[in-house]
Amino acid sequence: MWLRRVGEADLPAALDLHARCSPGNLAQRYPGGAREADDYLRHLLNGRHGASVAAHLGTGQLVGLGHVLWDGPESEVALLVADDWQRRGVGGALLGALVALAVARHSAGLYAVAQAGDAELLGALRATGLPLTEHSDADDALVVSAPLPARGVR
């Protein structure tokens, strides 16, 4: 498995990843659930509001997709890992790349919005070693945030 930056040209591969994910997996990752997931990809991959990284096999098939969205002084991170690639370190690898992009952009912190029972995302976030803060938002989603170190400090 390798990681690389992706953009609009990778839309067909990202749509194929969505097709291989269960509706439950897509519903955990996208606010509008599986019905709206494909529409979000165009926005996420266009690069105007952030950057996207994919985990792919030697065949080019995507097994995971991560996004970092610039949100003022902070960055939002979001991950999707194909069902059959869960719990294999794909999410952690993607998250590491996204954190590096946010640090390089001088983001003061990052956050992720998750469902309360999203053990995979929470585990990947905890594995970063960043000091996490968790709270519920108005929609009862779990928001996990952390300050980021200054660029070059680790």
Q: pLDDT of 79-136, one tens digit each?
A: 999 999 998 999 999 999 999 999 999 999 999 988 777 778 888 888 889 999 988 8
Range 57-86 burial, b when 16+ CB lie within 10 A, else e: eeeeebbbbbbbbbeeebbbbbbbbbeebe
Read off the amino acid at residue 149.
P
Mean pLDDT of 40-67: 93
Name the one residue in this structure whose structure tokens are 């902070």.
74
Q: In the predicted model, is pLDDT for residue 154 greater than 70?
A: no
